[in-house]
Structure 1
Amino acid sequence: MNKIQIRAVKGDFIWYNVNGDNVNYLLYGSEAYLVQKKLDLLIKDHVKVQDTMNTIVYDASENDFSIRKVIEEASTFAFFSEHKVIIVNNSVFLTRGTTLSEPELKELEAYLAKPSDFCSIVFIHHEENIDTNKKVYKIIKKYCREIHEKKLDANEFKSFLRDQAKQRGLQFDNEAFNELAARLDNQMVNAIRELDKLKLYGDKIKTEDVRALVSRPLDSETFHLINALMDKDLTRSLHIWNDMVVLNVEPLSFMGLIASQIRLMYQVLSLHQQGYHRQEIVNTLLNSNTKVDVYRVSRLLNLAQAADSARLLYILNVLAQLDQKSKSGLVDKKFGFELFLIEATR
């Protein structure tokens, strides 16, 4: 089986041309923009004009999903075109906790071993958490072309962002561009949306325009707050929290995000101290059904190395006490969160 990894170049893609081969695919990755662009190219490669007769979509996350229906459809001639594409979206059976029955696995393997020459199946999973030990993955890997769309690293994302801004005629000075990149947190779909919004504002964008029009994603703010906590910087911590108050972020929800990230930091740091490399850490966490990628692990590991396990556990304990007091009404949620910041930055 061919494993294909394609990277973004200047906002577009290096595409592997299948030259008309009638093959089936596994397409996965956590960056929705890259996955959708690749799917569009796959469909275009196999059908001249996309419509509901030659492009059929199934959602594997729905309760009534059946792989048998997919196989039956794939075995039925395309009446209004020479070729058709079946998209199996949200292929959750590739992850832990969901599976196909043994008879379904046998039917799937039998079909993929001798597929219809008039149909291509594209199995899509929008996360990185594929369980490579599962039988269904091994079957699909054996017979399908695997396309893994990895998230862009920081430099690739900035290149993509510059090209997309240029296409829209937007002009940034270095400070404004860096501020925009920081607020987008390597999210390509969000980048497209925010650039379109900035285009409505004007062509020459200043730093204050970016700060006024583009809000940081909550996950990014969580990361920046944890960074401030690790630095024991109370002023910066309170500044970030005040920004969240302006955005009407609910304190308990924000506490939950912080606790989740710090628990993950603890896991990452523990595995690193055991001698695991970054990709090995990712694979270990994915096998425990934790949604991560190398980029996220790298960010958290860099943060975690500035602290130690005892400090991370201490912050988690302070958060747990605050959560209990807030939910029981013993302390005001907003005031309690500010007390937590004071305690955690000592």
Structure 2
Amino acid sequence: MDYQKAIQDVKKGNLKAVYTIFGSELFLQQEFLQILLNQFGEADNLDMAKIDLSEQSLDAALDEAEMFSFFAEYRLIIVENVQFLNANSSQKLSTSEEKRLLDYINNPNEASVIVFVIPFDQVDKRKKLTKAFQKQTAFIEVNPLKEQEVSRYIQRYIEGEQLNITREASQELLVRVNYQLTEAMGEISKLKSFSLTGQPITIDVVRTLVPRTLESNVFELTDAVMKKRVDKAVQIYQDLILMKHEPIALHALIISQFRLIIQSKLLNQQGYLEADIAKELSVHPYRVKLALQSGRRSNLKPLAEFYDELIEVDYHMKTGVGIKETHFYLLLTKLVSLA
């Protein structure tokens, strides 16, 4: 079910008995739940239960859903951390639990609204239960948005809040949060507070108030290396060390970035588009875009050879061979020789 259509239906009071929110975009999850809550009236009159399946059983959730409220028209039951639709999840249902769940979603209590929250971007579509959820519930996807979608969402929000922010500042914000909507909305709250001073939000304000994520810094580091900008790469690495990031942890992120570059390059050569690659690798589309841009500068063979070297250095670092802080500088001489 389309996310925007689901929100419009809820605002009109057209409630479904069973919702499934599927995807890792936390902000959209919370936005939908808040809009749903608003339809149930004041907090004092709200008959709601929250069930966390990492701590409680599915039977407890269904028990709540089958109850009738004594003081409200509807009961709202939010079931968090639903993992049993995933392929390799340790959260398993017994035969009786699965049967009871199937019976409920096929014939729900119309006096209850139950929401299953699946905080992942993929489910096992081969499962009978997954097919039933997709067919019988309002199945709403909140997967990470594409770069352009995040940009449009943020722009609409800025206009709605009438924030005095420059185009360059807005772009800088998105870059600093890797075009991740949840992170962007969190940082905008800082910018809203600044706007109360009456001053415009400029790019310098964003650079002061919005820190780069560690992943963003590591991408900038690997990108500098791929462009053979050794001085910049060394400066970024030294800054990260001064920020108390452990060399072993930084090296692991560098490995992850090169792995993504190689995987994206391979899939792109097989005809996969950016969105398909992001879904296949379960990463944000913006990361794939940046990885493909970096990968275009190098051939696959030297990239793969260097990746093997990274793995070997990772082993040396973890077993205490050499000085942790100097491994990166030794690797730079090989990095800049990539074709």
Normalising by the smaller structure, the TM-score range is 0.7 to 0.9
Alpha-carbon distance change, 245 to 164 in structure 1, aligned in 2, over 3 angstroms: farther
C-alpha spacing 1:182/1:277, structure 2 compared with 1 (3 Å) = closer
What does residue 228 of structure 1 align with? 224
- Report the Cα distance in structure 1 between the residues aligned to 2:186 and 2:265, rounded to whole angstroms: 35
Unaligned runs of at least 5 residues, structure 2: none
The 8 Å contact of residues 174 and 180 in structure 2, kept in 1 or not, is answered as: no
| One-letter amino acid matched to 1:147 | I
SS in 1 for 2:21: strand
Note the alpha carbon deviations across 1:188-243, whole angstroms, 9 max, x for none: 33333333334445433343333233210112222222322332332332232233
Given candidates 283, 290, 293, the residue that maps to 1:292 is 283
- The percent of aligned pairs where both chains have the same amino acid is 31
1:110 deviation in Å? 0.8
CA offsets 1:256-296 (integer angstroms, 9 cap, x no match): 112123223323332333334444444544xxxxx324444
Which residue of 2 is the match for residue 27 of structure 1?
Answer: 21
Q: Which amino acid aligns with 1:208?
A: D
C-alpha separation between the residues in 2 aligned to 1:60 and 1:180? 35
Task: Report the CA distance between 1:105 and its aligned residue.
Answer: 1.5
One-letter amino acid of the structure 1 residue matched with residue 250 of structure 2: F
**Residue 21 of structure 2 contacts residue 142 of structure 2 at CA under 8 Å; is this kept in 1?**
yes
* Partner SS state of residue 154, structure 2: helix
When residues 82 and 28 of structure 1 are mapped into structure 2, their CA distance, relative to the original with a 3 A threshold, is: same
1:30-69 maps to which residues of 2 (within 5 A)?
A: 30-45=24-39, 47-50=40-43, 54-62=47-55, 65-69=56-60
Q: Deviations over 1:4-59 (max 9, x none)?
A: 2339xxxxx963346434421111222211111011112333x2234696221111
- Higher RCO structure, 1 or 2 (CA under 8 Å, sep 6+): 1
Conserved in 2, the CA contact under 8 Å of 1:94 and 1:136?
yes
Q: What is the DSSP-based 3-state SS (H/G/I as helix, E as strand, rest coil) of the residue aligned with 2:135? A: helix
Residue aligned with 2:116, SS: strand
* 1:207 is the counterpart of 2:203: yes
Q: Which amino acid aligns with 1:306?
A: R
* Alpha-carbon distance in 1 for matches of 2:138, 2:307: 43
- What is the rounded CA distance, in whole Å, between the counterparts of 2:136 and 2:63 in structure 1? 18
Q: Which of 203, 215, 219 does residue 219 from structure 1 map onto? A: 215
The CA deviation at 1:182 is 1.4
Question: Structure 1 pair 6/296, CA: closer, same or farther in 2 (3 Å)?
Answer: farther
Of 248, 253, 258, the match for 2:249: 253
One-letter identity of the residue aligned with 1:176: A
Letter in 2 for 1:102: T
Q: Which shows bigger deviation, 164-173 or 102-111? A: 164-173
**1:152, CA displacement in angstroms?**
3.2
1:77 to 68, 88, 111: 68
What is the rounded CA distance, in whole Å, between the counterparts of 1:247 and 1:313 in structure 2?
A: 30
Letter in 1 for 2:26: A
| Distance of aligned partners of 1:240 and 1:320 in 2 relative to their CA distance in 1, 3 Å threshold | same
Alpha carbons 1:172, 1:204 under 8 Å: kept: yes
Q: 1:130 aligns with which of 103, 123, 140?
A: 123
CA distance in 1, matches of 2:3, 2:182: 20
1:329 corresponds in structure 2 to 320
Counterpart of 1:188? 181
Using a 3 Å threshold, how does the CA distance of structure 1 residues 157 and 334 change in structure 2: closer, same or farther? same
Relative distance call for 1:315 and 1:190 in structure 2 (3 A) is: same
Q: Is the 8 A contact 2:177 2:183 kept in 1?
A: yes
Gap runs ≥5 in structure 1:
8-12, 286-290
Give the equivalent residue in structure 2 for 1:313. Answer: 304
Q: Displacement of 1:89 after TM fit?
A: 0.9
Distance 1:85 1:183 in 2: 37
Q: 1:179 to 1:281 in 2, by over 3 A?
A: closer
TM-score (norm 1): 0.84
Give the Cα separation in 1 of the matches to 2:305 and 2:37. Answer: 52
Counterpart selection for 2:111 from 77, 95, 118:
118
SS across alignment from 1:131: coil
1: CA distance between counterparts of 2:18 and 2:102?
12
